[in-house]
Amino acid sequence: MVTDIRYKIFDLMKEYGDMLQVQERTRKEVLEKKNDGTIFFLEHNEVYTVGIRGKENHFLNLSHENGKTPAVYKVRRGGEVTWHGPGQLIIYPVINFRKAKFRSIREFVNFFGESISISLRDFCGIKKAVWLEDTPGVWVDDRKIAFVGFHFSKFVPIHGFSVNLNPDMSHFKTIIPCGIPGCKITSVKHETEKEFSIKEMSENILSILKEKIPDIYEDRMEEQ
């Protein structure tokens, strides 16, 4: 089945609010059957987001050394509170998952989660990285390295996954990540002492996704 599913790897860091608008606009186009959607790969400027199960007491201390507090967005996605920022890969698969041969939300989410874990194992060398459906995310033993949260309308999601490549890990100490007290957070750099760029990691994950969605093609939209 030939689809009109695209991907875009952004070179520039993107503001969260701007990308939220891009996602919503893309979903509207998919629901209007103008195309089958786009998978976005990017890096955000620093921001906190609060999902539908997020609570005020999940924030511990948002003060920063420079006296500025990052923006906080309350959004309609699964999950609690998380942080996004430099050194973290964001993946937003805003696509009609039925057109991509997924039979259910569960199959769609698990495939993307498994693809990220395969990339972390085979490309980054983190042999213990595993996608866990029951405690959603990719884990390395008891340490969480990748996160997930979606909002679906019919067969089209917004939001998605984040993968810690080399972020400033101190930001996760300002919140209770994923609403799990004492949750240990890790990164590719912490586990391997190696650094991978957003582009390198995106391209590797994309190569795995293409096993399921072989006709996906690059979107040439200009960055703004």
CA end-to-end distance (rounded Å), the chain:
33
**Partners of residue 144 on adjacent β-strands:** 139, 185
* Backbone φ, ψ for residue 123 (5° rounding): -90, -45
10 token code pair: 């952004």
Q: Which helix (H) or strand (E) holds 205?
A: helix 198-209
170 token code pair: 């101190």
Which among 178, 185, 198, 213 is annotated as catalytic?
178
For residues 116 and 110, give the distance between their C-alpha atoms in angstroms, rounded to a whole number: 10
Residue with tokens 């998978």: 39
Nearest to 144 by CA among 160, 130, 155: 130
Burial class (CB in 10 A: 0-12, 13-18, 19+), 169: middle
Distance of CA 20 to the CA centre of its chain: 13
Q: Please confirm, yes or no, whether 124 is among the known catalytic residues.
A: no
Nearest to 124 by CA among 197, 43, 196, 199: 196
Active-site annotation, residues: 178
